[in-house]
Amino acid sequence: MQRYQQSDANAAGELIAQLSTPMYQFYLAQVRERALAEDLLQDFWLRIHNARRTYRPGEPVLPWMYAIARRVRIDYYRRSRGRKHHEIQSEQLPERAADEGQIGTSLDLTEVLKVLPKSQREVILLLKVSGLSLEEVARATGSSVGAVKQKAHRAYDKLRKLFSSKDEL
């Protein structure tokens, strides 16, 4: 990252090669749509390029990048929420709302994590899928280590209860 700050073109290519896949997976787990995840990834790299001067040499680069990735996702949701508000509402409601606790026979990670609130899902993805430490997740999400632990604990409890209820069936 320090070389990229100094306008080393090879460093930019190395960063993109090393981190595009994990960042794409981060977005894909959040939005569950490949084209949208690719768009968010492109926006992420543009923001990294524009914000590269804000990285502090010597600090871990992943929490800094995940904080930017998180902001890209939040900004997307804010923009899309505004668009959805202006869309024409359907005249007919679905017969039955989807059951949040239902999980199909195929245990897909994104499907399983849908039962968690966004903040807990994000913490689990950063901790377990991206492999960040508690401190790095705290930096990336702008919260304390204690808050990250609490969100992870609550997410684990909810998932544990979900799987134990599935086993009883």
Greater model confidence, 108 or 44: 44
Parse the chain into domains and list their residue ranges.
1-87, 101-169
Could you tell me the fold of the domain covering 101-169?
Arc Repressor Mutant, subunit A (1.10.10)
Greater model confidence, 26 or 169: 26
Average pLDDT, the chain: 83
Residue 155: count of CB within 10 angstroms of its CB = 22
Structural class in CATH, domain 1-87? mainly alpha
Tell me, yes or no, if the two domains 1-87 and 101-169 fold the same way.
no
* pLDDT value at 55 more than 50: yes
* pLDDT value at 103 more than 80: no
Q: If pLDDT is split at 50, 70 and 90, which confidence band does 105 have?
A: very low
Q: How far apart are CA 166 and CA 169, in angstroms?
A: 5
Sequence-ordered list of residues with C-beta below 8 angstroms from that of 30, at least 6 positions apart, any chain: 37, 73, 121, 122, 125
CA 45 to chain centre: 15
Q: What is the mean pLDDT of residues 53-80?
A: 91
* pLDDT value at 93 more than 60: no
Q: What is the mean pLDDT of residues 19-48?
A: 93
**70-90 pLDDT, tens per residue?**
999 989 988 887 655 444 455
For residue 142, with 0-12 CB atoms within 10 Å meaning exposed, 13-18 middle and 19 or more buried, which class applies? exposed
Instruction: State pTM to two decimals.
Output: 0.58
Output the CA–CA distances (angstroms, integers) from residue 128 to 58, 104, 161, in the order listed: 24, 22, 19
Instruction: Please choose, from the candidates 141, 140, 144, 145, the residue with its C-alpha nearest in 3D space to the C-alpha of residue 60.
Output: 140
